[in-house]
Structure 1
Amino acid sequence: MSSFRELLADAKSKIQEIDTQTAATRIEASQVVVLDVREPDEYEQGALPNVVHIARGHLEAQIETKIVDKSVEVIVYCAGGVRSAFAAKT
């Protein structure tokens, strides 16, 4: 069985991570969807405008009804990069 660190390293090796400046540029310049995978209490403390919020634990069950266009670029974020990495890989 793989360790948490191995699973995280595997997820990060299969996604493209971007910095906040690159994310801001893509958000301003194109039709991207920003997906916030933090928990509801974190989201309520503050979030980027116009984001789709689905807590990581509910992602697979809700993603198809919240982001219908499968061709759109999705920028996924959380508080520290772990949940977003697993979510992006999913």
Structure 2
Amino acid sequence: MLQLDSNRLYGALMKQVADYMEEKANLLVDTQALVESVEIMLAGLASREKGGKIVRLDELREDEPAYNDEQFRKGYAAASGPMYAL
């Protein structure tokens, strides 16, 4: 059975994205899929800040709030209860 540490998934993803941006090998998926996965997370954050309003990916703007991995993990862990406690 495969078990993943959900507290470390996003950080690992961002490391792979950074490696790719530094012209190292892309070990994940094609670039468009990586960009879209980050856009989905940013749209979720923008939606939360707008009281749950639907935010389409093509509506994202450069002045939207940046994604903060540590803040996300702590908030996710707190909302998820003991299973994800840091």
TM-score where L is the length of structure 2: 0.28
Bigger share in helix: 2
Bigger share in strand: 1
Work out which structure has the larger RCO, using CA pairs closer than 8 Å and 6 or more positions apart in sequence: 1
